[in-house]
Amino acid sequence: MWTFFQEHVLGMKWLNELVGEGLTRLGVDVTSRWGGSLQFFLYDVIKISILLCFIIFLISYIQSYFPPERSRRILGRFKGLTAHIISALLGTVTPFCSCSSIPLFMGFTSAGLPIGVTFSFLISSPMVDLGSLVLLMSIFGSKIAVAYVLLGLVIAVLGGLVIEQLGMERHLEDFVKQAHVPLAESETMSNQDRLHFAKEQMSETFRKVFPYVLVGVGIGALIHNWIPESLVTQLLGSQNPFGVILATLIGIPMYADIFGSIPVAEALLSKGAQLGTVLSFMMAVTTLSLPSLIMLKRAIKPPLLALFVAICIVGIILVGYLFNFLQQTMIF
């Protein structure tokens, strides 16, 4: 039953066959490079769009119970390790990319929450949202998806703890420390209001995310049908012990969310790249994009920014090598 759900509900294998049959009837040879690329592109765009709308609607509905004011109050009740864990978990039901997470991070920090706790949120939010869990399950399976999310939460919690222990509050910009945003009560919403909010969020977020989906699927289609398997294996396969580091460094300058990076990772994996290597690429793209770092630099000083980047890079690389090791021992 679970295999059927994973392959035909989440993975939508029937859709791939339907697209292939439709193209064939239109005279397209799906066994050719161009035909195969077109089938890959149409199938992935339709599949991801369907899952994306459903996921955004569901998460937005859940998010309606956790507006910024309520999230601040929840985080303010906890101390120590528990606060970091709750902060990282709250990050899974908030915006889908790092740029949209930064204003919330600044608001939490201005409200007087410990800096380490807010960084646990900042790391977790773009890296391990609930949408990534569902999409990863649709492509890589439940074991990989759950392990990815759990390890992403570990990076977020440990990263926040390190920043807290080093006492990095002094490296916040003055305007953030002096803002003192009050912890206002959240507005009570009816169920109809929540459904309307979820619908609006779905529409708005999909419009923002869809261009990155098109680019990501397009790149994935090119890799899937045009890039020689030997080249991908040589650079990102087991033959290159530095493949994880290379994939992480390549991912940092790119800007996309989890939905745009998954098709690229799927194509790389099918061409012989190691599992941990492609997951490190995904984490780097979603967590350390240059636009988000530029925005973050406005709120924190260079030493804290450098520490944040270093923690994320080290954590992402370690996760990549761990997944590669588990893949070789046939756990996945």
pLDDT in tens, 232-288: 878 888 778 899 999 888 887 765 666 677 788 888 888 888 989 988 988 888 788
Q: What is the CA radius of gyration of the chain?
A: 20
Q: What is this structure's pTM?
A: 0.74
Percentage of the chain lying above the pLDDT 90 cut:
17
Residue 179: predicted pLDDT: 54
Mean pLDDT computed over 56-78: 77
Give how far the C-alpha of residue 132 lies from the chain's centroid of Cα atoms, to the nearest Å.
6
Cα 117 to chain centroid, rounded: 19
Closest CA to 48 of 148, 135, 142: 135
Query: For position 283, what pLDDT does the model report?
Result: 85
Amino acid at position 185, single letter: E
Contact between 146 and 278 (Cβ < 8 Å):
no
Residue 181 confidence class, pLDDT cut points 50, 70, 90: very low
Q: Give the rounded distance of the alpha carbon of 210 from its chain centre.
A: 15
- Is pLDDT above 50 for 294? yes
